[in-house]
Chain A
Amino acid sequence: MRRLIKSVCSVVFAALLLPASAFGAEPIRIGAIYIMSGPFATYGQFARDGIELALEEINGQGGVLGRKLEYLIEDSAGKADVAIQAARKLVYQEKVDVLMGIDSSGVANGLTPVVPELQRPLLITHAATPDVTGKLCNKWVFRNSVNINQHMKAAALLAKDLGNKRWTTIGPDYAFGHQSWEFFQKYLKPMQSDVEFMEPMFPRFGSEDFTPFITRTISAKPDGVLISVWGGDLVNFVRQANNLGFFDQGFDVLFTLGGATEVLTALGDQMPEGIWVGTRYWFLAKDTPRNKKFVEAYHKRYGKYPSYNAQNAYSGVYTIKGAIEKAGTTDPAKIAAAMENLTVDAPTGTYTVRAEDHQALVDGYWGVTKADSSYPIRILDPVRVFPAKQITPPPAENGCKLAG
Chain B
Amino acid sequence: MATSGLARPLGLTRGAAALAGLAAAAIALLALPYVAPYFVIFVATEILIMGLFATSFNLLFGFTGLLSFGHAAYFGTGAYIAALLLRDLQPDFVWVLLAAGLGAGLLAFVIGALCVRLNEVYFAMLTLAFGMMVYVVFHQWRSMTGGTDGVAGFPITALGFGVHGQLGNPVHYYYLVLVVVAASLFALYRITVSPFGLILRAMRENTERVAFAGVPVYRYRLYAFVLAGAFAGLAGALFSPFNRIAVPEMVHWTQSAEPVLMAILGGASYFFGPLFGAAVFLTLERWITSYTTEWMIYLGIILLLLVIFLPRGILGLFDRHKEDAP
Contact = CB atoms under 8 A, between A and B. Distances in A.
A and B touching (C-beta < 8 Å)? yes
Interface of A: 1-7, 10-11, 13-14, 16-18, 36-37, 75, 79-81, 84-85, 88-89, 92-93, 105-106, 109-110, 112-114, 117, 136, 173-175, 178, 204-205
B286 interface: yes
B261 interface: no
A209 B15 CA distance: 60
Interface of B is mostly: helix
B318 interface: yes
A174 to B, nearest CB: 5
Interface stretch (B147-155, B157-165, B212-220, B303-311): B147-155
29 contacts: A1-B12, A1-B14, A1-B20, A2-B10, A2-B11, A2-B315, A3-B12, A3-B21, A3-B272, A6-B276, A6-B279, A10-B28, A11-B28, A14-B40, A14-B43, A36-B293, A80-B150, A80-B247, A81-B249, A81-B250, A88-B39, A88-B42, A93-B39, A109-B152, A110-B244, A110-B247, A117-B168, A174-B147, A174-B148
B287 interface: yes
A6 B247 contact: no
B298 to A, nearest CB: 15
A81 to B, nearest CB: 5
Contact of B318 (A2, A13, A136): A2
B42 A2 contact: no
B25 A3 contact: yes
A85 B243 contact: yes
Contacts of A89: 39
A55 B250 CA distance: 37
A2 B21 CA distance: 7
Contact of B279 (A10, A18, A79, A84): A10
B243 A84 contact: yes
A13 B149 contact: no
A207 to B, nearest CB: 11
A109 B153 contact: yes
Contacts of B150: 80-81, 106, 110
A161 to B, nearest CB: 33
A36 B21 CA distance: 43
Contacts of A88: 39, 42
Given A3-B24, A7-B28, A84-B243, A136 B153 contact: yes
A6 B25 contact: yes
Nearest to B240: A81
A114 B247 CA distance: 15
SS class, residues of chain A in contact with chain B: helix
Contacts of B283: 10, 13
B37 interface: yes
B245 A80 contact: yes
A1 B21 contact: yes
B21 A4 contact: yes
A75 B293 contact: yes
B42 A4 contact: no
A401 to B, nearest CB: 14
Nearest to B42: A88
A85 B286 CA distance: 11
Contacts of B18: 1, 3
B36 interface: yes
Contacts of B272: 3
Contacts of B28: 7, 10-11
Q: Which of A37, A84, A112, A178 counts the most B-chain CB atoms under 10 A from its CB?
A: A84
Interface string B16-59: 01101110110011000000111110110000000000000000
Interface in B230-248: 243-245, 247
Nearest to A75: B293
B290 interface: yes
Nearest to A5: B21
B117 interface: no
A173 B150 CA distance: 12
B24 A81 contact: no
B289 to A, nearest CB: 9
B236 to A, nearest CB: 13
A8 B245 CA distance: 32
A205 B21 CA distance: 49
B287 A17 contact: yes
A205 B247 CA distance: 14
Interface in B253-278: 272, 276
Contacts of A117: 168
Contacts of A105: 149
A13 B36 CA distance: 11
B246 to A, nearest CB: 9
Given A3-B10, A81-B250, 9 more contacts: A1-B18, A2-B12, A3-B22, A17-B287, A36-B293, A84-B244, A110-B245, A173-B147, A174-B149
A270 to B, nearest CB: 28
A93 to B, nearest CB: 4
B322 interface: no
A4 B22 CA distance: 7
Given A88-B39, A174-B147, A17 B244 contact: no
B250 to A, nearest CB: 8
B105 to A, nearest CB: 24
B147 A14 contact: no
Given A7-B28, A174-B147, A81 B243 contact: yes
Nearest to B40: A14
Contact of B148 (A1, A4, A106): A106
A328 B27 CA distance: 45
Given A3-B10, A80-B150, A80-B152, A92 B39 contact: yes
Contact of B290 (A5, A14, A17, A174): A17
A254 to B, nearest CB: 24
B156 to A, nearest CB: 11
B217 to A, nearest CB: 34
Instruction: Give the most central of A36, A79, A85: most B CB within 10 Å.
Output: A79
A136 B293 CA distance: 31
Interface in B185-212: none
Nearest to A88: B42
A79 B153 contact: no
Question: Which 5 pairs, one residue from A and one from B, show the smallest C-beta to C-beta distance?
Answer: A3-B21, A92-B39, A106-B149, A1-B17, A113-B153
